[in-house]
Amino acid sequence: MFVFFSSCGCCEEKQKDLTYTHDFESLQGWTNHPYGLEKGIAHSGDFSCKTDTLARYSYNFQLDLNTISKRPLGKVSAILWALKSNESATGDLIIEITDKDGKNLCWASYPLTSAAAGAHEWIEIEGFADLSKKGLNDPANKINIVFVNSGKARIDVDDFEIKFENL
Ligand SMILES: [Ca+2]
């Protein structure tokens, strides 16, 4: 979702808020892959995204960096909320950058830790990537952000918030 706001100078170019959020509340009826859309278990509203051994990947965020901003990007941070179905559940928030040909340039994983959180408790996971180094912020590059369930137990995820910052 884009939010526009005016900058303080009357002649300056308007700046775009580089934040993308998803709460899974408006997907019903709009996706050909409804398996992961779960009603009745949610961090917000009524819906979340279910991951398990049949569908390990959540709905993902994927865009060309050029689409996100015409100015060079410096950083991306991502937050999501996850609910483990039991203590043994494992999974990771993944931030991946690829070039225009699909070659992997950056792959960072942020695990769903068990620290201070048992089953049936929503846990916040946060990850980030420095896009200012090694040409990661080339406008032709693509970013992919997704939650991957790596275990045998179900994990529901909700309320993705992805923020980009310009250099
Ligand atoms: Ca929700």
Tens digit of pLDDT for each residue in 134-154? 899 999 999 999 999 999 999
For residue 124, report the distance from its CA to the centre of ligand 1, in Å: 14
Q: Is residue 17, in this structure, part of any structural domain at all?
A: no
For residue 45, report the distance from its CA to the centre of ligand 1, in Å: 5
Task: Look at the chain and report how many structural domains it folds into.
Answer: 1
Residues whose Cβ atom is located within 5 A of ion ligand 1:
23-24, 42, 44-45, 47, 158
Q: Is residue 6, in this structure, part of any structural domain at all?
A: no
| pTM exceeds cut of 0.75 | yes
Q: Is residue 12, in this structure, part of any structural domain at all?
A: no
Q: Is residue 120, in this structure, part of any structural domain at all?
A: yes
For residue 24, report the distance from its CA to the centre of ligand 1, in Å: 5
Q: Is residue 18, in this structure, part of any structural domain at all?
A: no
For residue 92, report the distance from its CA to the centre of ligand 1, in Å: 19
Q: Is residue 16, in this structure, part of any structural domain at all?
A: no
Smallest CA-to-CA distance from 54 within 30, 35, 31 is with 35
Q: Which residue has the tokens 């979702």?
A: 1
Range 156-160 average pLDDT:
97
CA dihedral of 117, 160, 154, 31, whole degrees rounded to 10: 160
State the CATH number of the domain containing residue 81: 2.60.120.260
For residue 8, give Cα distances in angstroms to 12, 15, 37, 70, 166: 8, 10, 41, 20, 18
Domain that holds residue 154: 24-160
Residue 125, both tokens: 């996971």
Residue 144, both tokens: 């992919």
Smallest CA-to-CA distance from 47 within 145, 160, 167 is with 160
For residue 47, report the distance from its CA to the centre of ligand 1, in Å: 4
For residue 161, report the distance from its CA to the centre of ligand 1, in Å: 12
Tens digit of pLDDT for each residue in 24-62? 999 998 887 778 999 999 999 999 999 999 999 999 999
**H helices present in 25-86, as ranges:** 65-68
For residue 65, report the distance from its CA to the centre of ligand 1, in Å: 26
Q: Residue 6: how many CB atoms within 10 A of its CB?
A: 9
Distance of CA 163 to the CA centre of its chain: 9
Of the pLDDT bands very low, low, confident and very high (cuts 50, 70, 90), residue 8 is very low
- What distance in Å separates the CA atoms of residue 49 and residue 136, rounded to the nearest whole number? 29
Q: Is residue 142, in this structure, part of any structural domain at all?
A: yes
